[in-house]
Chain A
Amino acid sequence: MKNNFLSFVKKESLHILRDVRTMMIVLLIPVVLMILFGFAISTEVNNLDVAVVAPNRTESVRQTVDRLSRNPYFTLIDYIDNNDIDKVLRSGKANVVVLFDEDYDKLLAQRSEGIDTKPAVQFIFDASNTNLAQTGAIYLQNAIATEHSQQEMLNMHLLYNPQMKSAYNFVPGIMGLIFILICAMMTSISIVREKEVGTMEVLLVSPVRPIKIILAKMIPYFVISCINLVTILLIARYLLYIPLDGVWGGVIVMSIVYLLLSLALGLFISTVSSSQVVALLVSAMVLLLPMMMLSGMLFPLENLPMILKPLPNIVPARWYIDAIRKLMIMGLPLSAVMKELIILVIMAFVLMGISLKNFKDKLE
């Protein structure tokens, strides 16, 4: 009987290999998404246009401005007049105006003597793009702060991702997305296709337990997902420079558990949908949307209204993405994500159990 299990796997792999277009899409999606999110779609702030208002261009003011202009994150537009601030921001010529106080030198000196003074520098941001304004403010603050003595400003440290690289945020999210897509969507569609085409009838009228056929279906998709996992990790390490040293093991264990969970989810979808279109819609509506919204991939979960707060807990991707962030970005060992791992394992078992019970070996 072991022999015929292998022929089922072979048959399933043939289906996938014969459909070259789908296979290419499945293998290329991760690469495209990684490159898109890693480079093109970036929430990092580069080339922030800075205009400067300095009524009194003393030596120290000039030095500070000079340093800003040499910083790759900022592009110095020009010195402008106090009255032009509004005009420059409105026209979009500058994203931010840095105002040096008339008594900049004097205020700095007083500060270093420990006298409480009014701020010496002011930033005026165009906050129509909140992301740009927020991140830019932090950059600018840091850049100017190094100039001044430490006690002058709030002391702020960004741990784990000090440059606030967006790739660090997106890579775990993309992993959570791709594995659900490939495992759950593709398996559910391939099972439902057999129902739709009518081959399921012939399969059922045979001595083989349907579960065996189903498991054989999952294996090729599992292999493809593993290939994708390797591609993603390689791109993350060598193209996006995410330091993965020492965390490979943890990421791989976590991902394999998540893959199995996604396969179980695919099987579950196939038991509730009667046609490929339904399976596709269920995958998209029930999996993708909540996953994007409720996994913390795009929006911070802290922002959810109170009543919706428990909702993300049932989204598997949320736990996976959380865990991968801890492993990949914070560089924690697997033991630090035990909670997430256990939750995902339980979810996988429950889903597998329900769908196996749900899977009928009759037509109705």
Chain B
Amino acid sequence: MSAIKVENISKSFGKTKALDGVSFEVARGELFGLIGPDGAGKSTLFRLLTTLLNPDFGRAEVDGFDIVKEYRDIRKRVGYMPGRFSLYQDLTVEENLNFFAALFGVKVEDTYDLVAPIYRQIEPFKTRKAGKLSGGMKQKLALSCALIHRPSVLFLDEPTTGVDAVSRSEFWDMLSDLKQKGITILVSTPYMDEASRCDRIALCNEGRILSINTPKDIVSGFNSHSQNSSPNPVPTTLYAISAENMYQLLLSSRKCKGVVECYPFGEMHHLVVDETFDIECFKKELTDMKGLRIEPINPTIEDMFIKLMKQ
């Protein structure tokens, strides 16, 4: 039995379609990531699965319980960390933890083995008000509170948004540890670079899921001929290019033969090409570009995401 099972679920707010026929399954003990930009419908999906909202169409199960009919059972066994920091800022770290323990009718000592690795890091500040903690510490406290009742499924809505890079990496280490303890984790993030830390990811955009796979397979799908859902699959290769005049480079390279796509990507531009592309011809066409550099690179999840979005 899968821990989370979503079947063709849709949810609208007025005229806005937040979710449009989404289906996926998460196996027990899996760390599953929802990757997508703001407005992709990730938070709505979390609210549906944590039984805060009812779907318009479709159905879903969490831990074997229906999210509409058996929502009380679900509320007993899931941990939820909403996108916003949702603890009491005027209570201390310790008071927050004790309150959430009371909320779930457990004693802090009973779950301490599970919470300890995380809570120990913020324990020196236990008399500090939660509102005065740094972003990273806030997340650790929120995670501790979400774990206090030994949930079987953990829902983390953008837990690393607004957290520094070091804390983000630490946070993902914690999630890996929790996964080892058999907790199913559904986590969302707008940061594509975090996707590789998940077992499987779903790329979503505008209320739809574009692709579900392991991070590795999603990336390798970039060059494959059998790209799903595309009517005319194009085998593509990826290059990173740069020149002194980056903007002119972007415009000119888009006109070259065999170029499918060229988009800014950090300090470089990424160049997507099909099999008619010839690197020597390309260099010749852009001889007037000063300092032109071109090298083949491995696609990232973000490249895949951009490719899927265009289709």
Contact = CB atoms under 8 A, between A and B. Distances in A.
Interface of A: 1, 3-4, 7-8, 11, 14-15, 18-19, 197-199, 201-208, 362-364
Interface residues of B, number: 29
Which 4 A/B pairs are nearest by Cβ-Cβ distance?
Answer: A7-B102, A4-B102, A198-B86, A205-B80
A202 B103 CA distance: 10
Given A202-B80, A206-B75, A363-B47, A1 B86 contact: no
B86 A199 contact: yes
Given A15-B90, A206-B104, A363 B99 contact: no
Interface in B2-60: 47, 50-54
B95 A14 contact: yes
11 contacts: A3-B102, A11-B91, A201-B82, A201-B86, A202-B80, A205-B52, A205-B80, A206-B104, A207-B76, A207-B104, A208-B105
Given A1-B105, A364-B53, A11 B86 contact: no
B90 A14 contact: yes
B250 interface: no
A362 B91 contact: no
B265 interface: no
Interface string B50-89: 1111100000000000000000100110101010111111
A205 B51 contact: yes
B98 interface: yes
A197 B142 CA distance: 14
Contact of A362 (B54, B82, B86, B100): B54
Contact of B88 (A1, A11, A363): A11
Given A362-B53, A362-B54, A198 B91 contact: no
A207 B145 CA distance: 14
Interface in B277-294: none
DSSP class of B's interface residues: helix, strand, loop or mixed? Answer: loop
Nearest to A5: B102
Nearest to A4: B102
Contacts of A199: 86-88
Interface string B88-122: 11110001001110111100000000000000000
Interface of B: 47, 50-54, 72, 75-76, 78, 80, 82, 84-91, 95, 98-100, 102-105, 145
A19 B53 contact: no
Contacts of B52: 201, 204-205, 362-363
A237 B51 CA distance: 54
Contacts of B50: 201, 205
Nearest to B54: A362
Given A1-B105, A7-B99, A201-B82, 7 more contacts: A11-B95, A14-B91, A202-B82, A202-B100, A206-B104, A207-B72, A207-B105
A8 B50 CA distance: 22
B183 to A, nearest CB: 16
A128 B88 CA distance: 56
Nearest to B95: A14
A47 B52 CA distance: 67
A206 B73 CA distance: 10
B162 to A, nearest CB: 14
Contacts of A362: 51-54
Contacts of B85: 198
A15 B130 CA distance: 13
B88 A203 contact: no
Contacts of B90: 14-15, 18-19
